[in-house]
Amino acid sequence: MSDVLDQSEIEALLAAVQSGEEQVSTGDAPIFSRRRSGSEPVEVKQYDFKRPERVSKDQMRALQTLHEAFARNFGASLSGFLRTIVEVKVATCEQMTYSEFTSGLPNPTSFNLVEADALEGQMCLEVSPLIIYPIIDRLLGGNSQDLFIPQRPMTLIETRLIGNVTNRGLTALAEAWAGVRALKFEVSATESNPQLVQIVPPNEVVVVIGFELKMSNRAGTMNLCIPYNVIEPVMEQLSSQSWFAAAKQLKSKESEQQIAGTLGRAGLDVTGILAETTMTLSDLLNLAVGDVIVTEKPASDDVMVCVEGEEKYRAALGQFKGSRALKIVRASGGERR
């Protein structure tokens, strides 16, 4: 109770005011800022203590860029799975409290709890019923033209069907995060009422990436909620410079072997040009069976081998096991070997 004045202090204060010794401050209190010099205007910024920003702008931009790559991969995967064009793009990327995130979600909805093997805690993947039921209708052979969106939790069969979609999304998410850290995502639980799920305290800061999904004449939203304490161990790697540097280091031996193995199975058109000559159009029109075309190239000279129309090798013409064959003797323009 040190802020309470006793009677003697009150009388002394009144006496000082009446005598004019006590000066009453009527001016505004000075405001100090890191950007104030001389007569420049004072910079005042609002700060909401209920919503502290724990993720920097560079890290938010890196998260948005990372999940834009996820949106492209997920859209391509869904398009192949559903046999129709599905567009997925990032709509929002912001940080808020967990209570604000859950209060803005519909009920019922598809609320999936996602775990990463290398990170502690859980994430949330919410998919709107406005796009879930058209996807289910598409999987069951419908055209989603006059589809009614029911306001009820999904059945077990519907949950199993939409599980194929979420699993493909988690695979695309792992591919997008591979540049930062190798992660494996899996759904640990599914709930229809987001208010019943409390993975972090209500005032905990979370990063919410909102996606927009479009399929023919239907559209819906998808939200990925990442609590700050889950991605805190990788926050330093999410800075703009380190993230882009990590993207450049994807040319590992494993990826090179994978690309080389894929290209190694590609078919190529290989042709051998035995000789070349020129003739008039009238001679070409008068060609008949049994005519002989004479060239200036000796039969003992090397044959030109072209790969996809490009000259690559020189070869000798011969026979192998009863079939005509070409034996590569040197690279085109190189020394004989």
User: Do 247 and 119 share a structural domain?
Assistant: yes
Residue 269 backbone class (left: φ over 0; alpha: ψ -120 to 50; beta: rest): beta
User: Do 189 and 82 share a structural domain?
Assistant: yes
User: Do 209 and 98 share a structural domain?
Assistant: yes
Instruction: Assess if residue 41 is contained within a domain.
Output: no
Of residues 213, 261, 181, the one with CA closest to residue 77: 213
| DSSP assigned state of 275 | -
Q: Average pLDDT in the 266-290 region?
A: 87
Q: Give the model confidence (pLDDT) of 129-171 as tens digits.
A: 899 998 988 888 887 777 788 888 888 998 899 988 999 999 9
Q: Quick one: CA torsion of 4, 9, 14, 20, rounded to 10 degrees?
A: -120
Q: Average pLDDT in the 215-243 region?
A: 80
Instruction: Assess if residue 227 is contained within a domain.
Output: yes
User: Do 214 and 149 share a structural domain?
Assistant: yes
With tokens 């479009």, the residue in question is 214
User: Do 301 and 186 share a structural domain?
Assistant: no
User: Do 250 and 137 share a structural domain?
Assistant: yes
Instruction: Assess if residue 31 is contained within a domain.
Output: no
Q: Give the model confidence (pLDDT) of 190-202 as tens digits.
A: 888 888 888 888 8
Instruction: Assess if residue 265 is contained within a domain.
Output: no
Q: What is the band of 241 on the pLDDT scale with cuts at 50, 70, 90? A: very low
User: Do 216 and 69 share a structural domain?
Assistant: yes
User: Do 227 and 275 share a structural domain?
Assistant: no
Whether the predicted model's global pTM rises above the 0.95 cut: no
Instruction: Assess if residue 319 is contained within a domain.
Output: yes
Percentage of residues in the chain having pLDDT higher than 70? 82
* Strand spans (E) along 121-247: 122-127, 185-191, 205-215, 218-227
User: Do 100 and 235 share a structural domain?
Assistant: yes
User: Do 135 and 117 share a structural domain?
Assistant: yes
- pLDDT of 249 reads 52
Q: What is the band of 245 on the pLDDT scale with cuts at 50, 70, 90? A: very low
Separation of first and last alpha carbons in the chain = 101
Rounded CA-CA distance 69/179 in Å is 11
> Cβ neighbours of residue 152 under 8 Å, at least 6 residues apart?
108
CATH of the domain at 222: 3.40.1550.10
Q: What is the DSSP string of 1-64?
A: -TTS--HHHHHHHHHHHHHT-SPPP-SPPP---SS--TTPPPP-----TTS---S-HHHHHHHH
- pLDDT of 292 reads 87
**Domain span at 326:** 270-285+294-331
Instruction: Assess if residue 112 is contained within a domain.
Output: yes
> Cβ neighbours of residue 33 under 8 Å, at least 6 residues apart?
42, 43, 44
Rounded CA-CA distance 23/131 in Å is 69
Q: What is the band of 268 on the pLDDT scale with cuts at 50, 70, 90? A: confident
User: Do 226 and 193 share a structural domain?
Assistant: yes
> Cβ neighbours of residue 204 under 8 Å, at least 6 residues apart?
97, 98, 227, 228, 229
Q: Give the model confidence (pLDDT) of 44-73 as tens digits.
A: 666 555 555 677 788 888 888 889 999 999
Instruction: Assess if residue 7 is contained within a domain.
Output: no
Count the domains in the chain: 2
Instruction: Assess if residue 200 is contained within a domain.
Output: yes
Rounded CA-CA distance 113/196 in Å is 12
User: Do 223 and 276 share a structural domain?
Assistant: no
